[in-house]
Structure 1
Amino acid sequence: MERHEAAAGLATATGGTGTRRTGGAGRLATQARPGAVVAVPVQAGSDGRRAGRSAVEPAAAAEELAARFAAAGPAEADLLATAVFGAYGARHLGGAPQQAEPAPGTSWWHGPTVHHSTSPLFRPPGYRRIRREAPAQAGTRPTGGGRHRKPERPAAGALAATAELRTAARLLMAHPLVTADGPHGAALPLIRRHAEALAEHFHALLGYRLTLGPAHARLHKAPLPGRTLAGLDPAGYAALARALAGGPAASALAPVRALLDAWCPPAELAADLLTAPPLPAAGPEVTVRRLLAETPVVRYDGLAPAERAHLLAAAPAETERFADFLGLTAEIRAEGVALLDPADELTDLALPGPGTLAQAALLLAERLVEELRPAATENAPPAVLVPDALIDGTLGDITDDYGMSAGWDAGYLADLAAFRRDALDLLHRMGLAAPAGRTWLLLAPAARYAPRAEPEPPAGTGRHSRPATTPATAPAAGRGRDRQAA
């Protein structure tokens, strides 16, 4: 709930976080003059004006925005930055279970896992993520029914157009700011070619706005907590706003310079970032879709009542929309829904992934699940409390077992407090753990990375079995040696 409350608070300050359809989609607008920015498709707002370049001058808007950033706290500034710049990428969990989809209502705690395909324990030395092709589009399956009849296939032109549209949409979801001189500038003609269809899809599905300039494309996303611009605090955001308006690039702030170098923003993009109107407020359906599209896991217990009711009723239909548009597959479980990218590329954070932190975090989650997984006979909770000593003991064991042999970062091996902080933060950002005051919760989706739970045979039924242990002396379910020691 905390992310929705924060976004709702920002909606009041910025004029809204989402969109509600108030006008029909228009045709692709024509560039009236060099440097102009257009919204594609053109949308009529509630006041009858078309979305696009604001009448506010960029310099004045930058000063006003810089003042707001400077007066904000860190969390508020981060959220304001996502509302203004919307430059965060989509984030999804990696790996897909090889087993068949389980029955509806199956818990992540006891459902199919991806343990053998993703755990660092089973990776060869020098492992690197392998790009895989997304599954074929629905509708491309052969339909010929006769014995000697060749299967019917969609026209090659239609398939190519669909593939191009999906490629452009995935790029914009991962990199909402595409500039001619930036790292993805080669894709700008592709986005331009499918601009109208992209704008209509993004507007209808997510309430996002696509704008095009002579040298850029921008997908205007809604505020989303936790998606900061790397290295920037409130003062850094203020410096960025002034730099975009043509002011000095704050030579003392290396993160601002690095961001401007990465964006390579032309003048019309800078004006769009600073003066574009905010997205209108979003209802429960659009809010849920945004969370599905942008976050690793959407848990029912983290949604507002209306949002939860919508996702519970419409999860299959909603996930099908993302399969068609972005090529994402779904895990629908008792605790919530996760969209996965079969190509393991539509995410700004990789888990599983190479590197010390990703490998250690995955091993930590795996072992905590094995220690704390609720019994299959229980009404499994969406999260379990993790004893502090169990985190420390487990991370210490992992470091002893793999630190030297796997060539992990020496700084982390020498500073286990920092290692713990950053590993838990990565699990938090990927929706597998959550802070709870001074301790932590292990969330049910973490179990998809652990070995699958094996049902225990009934006690005392085997030929050589011992009598069943009485409740008074039976060990607590899920407790291992580290937890008992804690």
Structure 2
Amino acid sequence: PGRHRRPDRSRAAAKGATAGERRTADRLLLAHPLVTPDGPHGAGFPLILRHADWLTERFGELLGYPLTVGPAHARLHKAPLADRAVPGFGPDGYAALVLALGAIADRRVPDLERPEVPALLTDWQVATAGPDGGLALDRELARALLAAPAPPAAAPAGIPALAVRRLLAENPVVLTDELAAPERAWLLGRLTAEAELFADFLGLEAEIRAEGMALLDPADELSDLADGPLARTALLVAERLVEELRPLPEEAAPPAVLVPDALIDGTLGDVTDDYGLPEQPECDYLADRTALRRDVLGLLHRMQLIAPAGRNWVLRAPAARYAPQAELHPAPGGGRHSRND
């Protein structure tokens, strides 16, 4: 009976909508671990509230990240990453930030002498511009940020899944030869399963190579590094280093190759001759080429395209995958720093 009736698709549609909402919330929290209703990503806050229990369970199960959700904030407590501190913050800056949060939570006047502290408090919506031109301070949010649990610095011993999944979620690529033996064995045995898991969890597409695994974002939203003029200069430098150091077709490709200092300097000179110096408000690279070299290499290191080797640098295998082809038209006569006529 009922064979002539149209199939009921409402349940499947509702299930698909729920999965889409949860994936949107997952991606938002991973990219922006603190979300408030009035902040720059406040449009996604209702989704986090609606699926708070599911999100809390899922982040804890897959990544070991605690999630706290209150009426006016959601915070994902991610494990710290090497070389990924808040820009401009050293130990003194972090200490000043904690003291400022404590003062706000206790209704005391915070010390905001260090310029990076009020800037970050504003970004976090703890401090907002008041009608009189001063700062309105959110005592409840400051208290919540201080009281929230901190994640472990590393995944618990004996649980390679958490350690590897954190690397996959937070880094451009994971190379198997750089993993500890238990983690490497775990990942090699679960490449397809983990690719499917991250596709469902975050909408990411896996690229599996002999050297390791990368998760790519088709929407190009989740990167917090490869954006802006400095990043474009850095990726152009990587592309030219790959051209210079790529092995011949009959040669085996090593996981990393030493980059001579002279080649770095010459390549950087070529790129800036061809495309100009990157514009950074806080840096005058025209007057300080040493700072440009430092910042370009530092960014490539955080992208994991190069790595330090004593006092030198090595170019890692993923650089050949991520190096872009320039879309700009270089000026004629470039290349005078590192290429022979």
Q: Which amino acid aligns with 1:254?
A: P
Matched, 1:176 2:33: yes
**Equivalent residue number for residue 393 of structure 1:** 266
- Is the partner of 1:231 in helix, strand or coil? coil
Mark the runs of 5 or more structure 2 residues left unpaired by the alignment.
1-5, 127-137, 326-336
**Equivalent residue number for residue 262 of structure 1:** 123
Matched, 1:226 2:63: no
Residues 213, 268 of structure 1: 8 Å contact kept:
no
**Equivalent residue number for residue 99 of structure 2:** 242
How far off its partner does 1:165 sit? 0.8
What is the aligned counterpart of 2:184 among 308, 333, 337? 308
Matches of 2:49 and 2:147, distance apart in 1: 22
After superposition, the C-alpha distances for 1:278-301 in whole angstroms (9 at most, x for unaligned) are 435532111100010011111223
**Equivalent residue number for residue 342 of structure 1:** 218
Equivalent residue runs for 1:148-187 within 5 Å: 155-187=12-44
How far off its partner does 1:185 sit? 2.3
**Equivalent residue number for residue 135 of structure 1:** none
Q: Which amino acid aligns with 2:147?
A: T
Q: Which amino acid aligns with 2:70?
A: G
How far off its partner does 1:264 sit? 1.7
State the identity as a percent. 63
Equivalent residue runs for 1:67-216 within 5 Å: 155-216=12-73
What is the aligned counterpart of 2:199 among 310, 323, 327? 323
Highest CA radius of gyration, 1 or 2? 1
Residues 170, 346 of structure 1: 8 Å contact kept:
yes
- Is the partner of 1:155 in helix, strand or coil? helix
Q: Judging changes above 3 Å, is the alpha-carbon distance between structure 1 residues 451 and 292 closer, same or farther for their aligned structure 2 residues?
A: closer
**Equivalent residue number for residue 130 of structure 2:** none
Matches of 2:161 and 2:66, distance apart in 1: 17
**Equivalent residue number for residue 74 of structure 1:** none
Matches of 1:231 and 1:369, distance apart in 2: 31
Q: Which amino acid aligns with 2:179?
A: L
Matches of 1:184 and 1:211, distance apart in 2: 17
Deviating more after overlay: 267-276 vs 213-222: 267-276
What is the aligned counterpart of 2:112 among 251, 256, 278? 251
Matches of 1:444 and 1:367, distance apart in 2: 14
Q: Judging changes above 3 Å, is the alpha-carbon distance between structure 1 residues 245 and 354 closer, same or farther for their aligned structure 2 residues?
A: closer
Equivalent residue runs for 1:388-467 within 5 Å: 388-403=261-276, 411-450=284-323
Q: Judging changes above 3 Å, is the alpha-carbon distance between structure 1 residues 165 and 450 closer, same or farther for their aligned structure 2 residues?
A: closer
**Equivalent residue number for residue 51 of structure 1:** none
- Is the partner of 2:16 in helix, strand or coil? helix
- Is the partner of 2:40 in helix, strand or coil? coil
How far off its partner does 1:451 sit? 8.0
Residues 22, 51 of structure 2: 8 Å contact kept:
yes
Q: TM (normalized to structure 1)? A: 0.58
Q: Which amino acid aligns with 1:185?
A: G
- Is the partner of 1:344 in helix, strand or coil? coil
Residues 403, 413 of structure 1: 8 Å contact kept:
no
Matches of 2:92 and 2:194, distance apart in 1: 39
- Is the partner of 2:200 in helix, strand or coil? helix
How far off its partner does 1:411 sit? 2.7
Q: Which amino acid aligns with 1:274?
A: L
